[in-house]
Amino acid sequence: MPNRKLVRAVSTFSTYLLTIFLLISVVFILVRLSPGDPTLKYLSPQFNPQLHETVKNNYGLDKSVGEQYLRFLVNIAHGNLGVSYTYREPVQSIILEKAPLTLFLAIISFVLQIAVSVGLVQYLHQHRGKWLERALNKISLIMYALPPMVVGIGLIFIFSIVLKMFPIADVVSTNFDQLNYLQKTFDLVKHFTLPIITLSLPGIIIYYNYIRENVVATEKQTFVKFLFANGFENEIIFKKHVLPNSINPLISILGTELGILLGGAIITESLFGLPGLGRLTVTAIITRDYPLVVGCVLLTGFFVLLVNFIADLYKIKRDIQLSQSINISD
Amino acid sequence: MTKKIKIWQAIVCCLLLIAIVRFNEVLISVKMLFIFFSLLFSDYSSALSLIKEKIVDQFTSLLILPTLLFLILILRRKIFWLSKKCSGSALMVILLILLFLFAPLLAPYDDNLQFNLPQAKRLTPFSTQQLVEKVNPEYGNNKLDTFHKYENLLFREFVSSDYYLADEPIENVKSGEITSAQITFVLGTDEYGRDILSRIIYATRYSLMISFFAIVISGILGIVLGFVSGYFGRYTDVVLNRIVEMFLAIPFIFLVILSVAFLGDSVTTVIIILGFAGWMSLFKVVRSEVLKLKAKDHIVTAKMIGMSLSNLLTKEYLPLLLPSISVNLVFQFAYILVAESSLSFLGITGNYSHPSLGGMIQQGFASLSNAWWVALFPTMVITWIFFIVHNAVRKMNGSESNIFR
């Protein structure tokens, strides 16, 4: 049945549409609940009341709440997120300027997390029961308990302040323009090493533990014993059968993980002084730049929802393939 | 040797240790309490005017100390877990709870007391200074004045010519008027000359309090809504489930940041926001458990007898749900603690009257290159609490489960 895939995809899509709608509504309710008169941001109360009325009229604040809500929805649908108080520029252009850095950080550390944790599991499988594996398991249990903030501060203290190996903050050095290409690359790598480690280390440990537990659980299943009894080599069984089975469940948490990464980017960017989306959000809150806060949160929320949606589509495809293969074999 | 100590023995030891180590402060507080009660009978209105947040705090922890001691000694045979063997992680939990209860007794100084800066700025851990203190002759002999004298002894909020630090001991001490004593700052001082040990004790307590109340809110929300969803099924179930899935799709930290930005950053708001942001995972747990339990015989019987809904929840379901709920809540506790300290680290929240762990880390991070100890100790405390929680959950579960919500 080719339509089954489509039906499930459409139903998932409608759920996500509803979620976006809910997100926007929550934002609207919060904006309405916030105390204070928003027009006071633009003019002093000592000005004449006529001007006050004009500003209110311009922003549509004299209309009913329902009308304001509709206007909010229409504006967001048009990609119009308002004008930032501090930058005096449209919010969407500011965000688009800052977003690439955060996305770059998130994607790099996501790839790194998967690659390093799978590699570690694979490498340590050959050394099962030896001191290296036991030591790493103990370390991972301790590191499990470390919040990203603590990891970042520790790394900065050890590598930037005591050992002076990496710079403390910023994206590039001050003399970046005078360097040649090789030095420029080296400079960038130097600046991004610590932030990426900070962002990806907690995830690496979680994935390592998760995959390891899955491997242990999979190895107890009968098909592995069957393969072993058939005379396959241990290495081949592990690489071709156990590991793929253990990694597969990771796809379902891809969206959540991206959300955690983008949240972690807030702390990482503030720690290392990187001008990304996370730091923009924090400064926007501290300077009470409400349109910018709304824009940042909405954009991040949309992005996480998009990734969740893609992960869901993949799950649907896999589920249907699975059920079809079972039907054929029956 | 350590395996033979039981939990009640460990608690009693810790309590006695607190009473012995902080004997001076306990003694002064007892005197203050005594004066306060005698004033309450003789001069009612002036006694009531003495009540402040700090004094109430001090008196509560002072009263809890003997009460807890006697309760544990009396109940040690009746409550079964008190006579269990005390493991390392249990001891950690006990220490954390005692730190929470007896913070005013344990902290050597007020958390906002700034010593005079030339002497006290960024002192390294274990550095010593001379504390010069003038015994005030201005205080009279009546009860109110004595009370104020003791209050001044316990809760000094600023240094003056009567109370300051000096490099060397004062040579010409007139007997009874000026005393100088050597004091040690165990964890050093920060850039404003405040004792880090006192600040950490109060900050830990404050962070724990915020997370605790947030947990209470999300616990109530999660249990009630999960029960409603699982018990009634049908449309309520579908609607609540959709809402929860929508909330789970939005990252936790963004929801909190958004709410804090618009609703303000006072303590109550932060507690409510954190509580409302964290109930979704508990909802899922409770709902699935209730669905499983619904068809069990004893619950069907209870329903047939005609038990009311609230009775059914508290007497039939909750005892069976308790293990999974407690594991979830303990995890959520650590999660909220880290979220709160991250927020105050970023400067989004944390304008409280007391220090918070995240705020202390932020302050220490700014001066990381000249004073490593300011940031080190709060981070250690957060890691310690997080470690305790993970240990406790691992003990509860038998093994570690995945922590993906």
**Average pLDDT of adjacent 10-residue blocks, chain B of 405 residues:** 74 90 88 87 81 86 90 85 78 89 87 81 83 69 79 79 75 64 84 88 90 93 88 83 77 79 83 87 87 82 82 82 85 86 83 83 86 88 86 68 35
Any CB–CB contact under 8 A between A75 and chain B?
no
| Residue A175 C-alpha from the chain's centroid | 32
Chain A: nearest CA to B381, how far in angstroms? 11
- Among residues 216-245 of chain A, which lie with CB inside 8 Å of chain B? none
pLDDT confidence of residue B292: 84
Any CB–CB contact under 8 A between B240 and chain A?
no
Is the confidence at residue A169, as pLDDT, over 90? no
| Amino acid found at B107 | A
- Tokens 């400067």 sit at which residue? B347
Contact pairs from chain A to chain B, CB under 8 Å: 134
| Amino acid found at B350 | G
pLDDT confidence of residue B160: 76
List phi, psi (to 5°) of B179.
-120, 145
pLDDT confidence of residue B218: 92
Rounded to two decimals, the ipTM of the complex is 0.79
Residues A71-88: pLDDT tens digits?
888 888 888 888 887 888
pLDDT confidence of residue B398: 60
Any CB–CB contact under 8 A between B245 and chain A?
yes
Specify whether the CB–CB gap between A284 and A94 falls below 8 A.
no
CATH topology of domain B203-382: MetI-like fold (1.10.3720)
Contact at CB, A267 and B369, closer than 8 angstroms: no
pLDDT confidence of residue B401: 42
Residues A234-292: pLDDT tens digits?
888 888 888 888 877 777 677 677 777 887 888 888 888 888 888 888 888 888 788 88
The encoded tokens of residue A327 equal: 């039907």
Q: How far, in Å, CA of B263 to CA of B272, rounded?
A: 10
DSSP string, B67-131: HHHHHHHHHTTTSGGGGSB--HHHHHHHHHHHHHHTHHHH-SS-TTPBPPHHHHTTPPTTEEEEE
- The residue length of chain B stands at 405
Residues B143-163: pLDDT tens digits?
778 888 888 778 877 777 777
Is the confidence at residue A330, as pLDDT, over 50? no
What mean pLDDT do residues A111-118 have?
A: 88
pLDDT band at A45 (very low <50, low <70, confident <90, very high): low
pLDDT confidence of residue B138: 63
A28, A153, A158: best to mutate for the B interface, most B CBs within 10 A: A153
Residues of chain B neighbouring A293 (CB-CB closer than 8 A) = 257-258, 261-262
pLDDT confidence of residue B220: 92
Beta bridge partners of B195: B189
A22, A144, A149: best to mutate for the B interface, most B CBs within 10 A: A149
Specify whether the CB–CB gap between A146 and B385 falls below 8 A.
no
Specify whether the CB–CB gap between B169 and B124 falls below 8 A.
no
Is the confidence at residue A37, as pLDDT, over 80? no
Contact at CB, A267 and B346, closer than 8 angstroms: yes
Q: Say whether B132 sits in a helix, a strand or coil.
A: strand
Is the confidence at residue A92, as pLDDT, over 80? yes
Specify whether the CB–CB gap between A153 and A197 falls below 8 A.
no
| B257 → closest Cβ in A141, A153, A281 | A281
All residues at 6 or more sequence positions from B299 whose CB lies less than 8 Å from its CB, including other chains: B293, B312, B316, B317
List Cα–Cα distances, B208 to A278, B204, B282, B357, in angstroms: 26, 6, 20, 10
Residues of chain A neighbouring B246 (CB-CB closer than 8 A) = 15, 18-19, 22-23
The domain segmentation of chain B, as residue ranges, is: 2-106, 127-144+151-185, 203-382
Residues B171-219: pLDDT tens digits?
666 655 677 778 888 888 888 888 889 999 999 998 899 999 999 999 9
Nearest CA in chain B to A268: B346
Any CB–CB contact under 8 A between B402 and chain A?
yes
Residues of chain B neighbouring A154 (CB-CB closer than 8 A) = 379
Nearest CA in chain A to B347: A286
Specify whether the CB–CB gap between A168 and A161 falls below 8 A.
yes
Q: What is the mean pLDDT of chain A?
A: 81
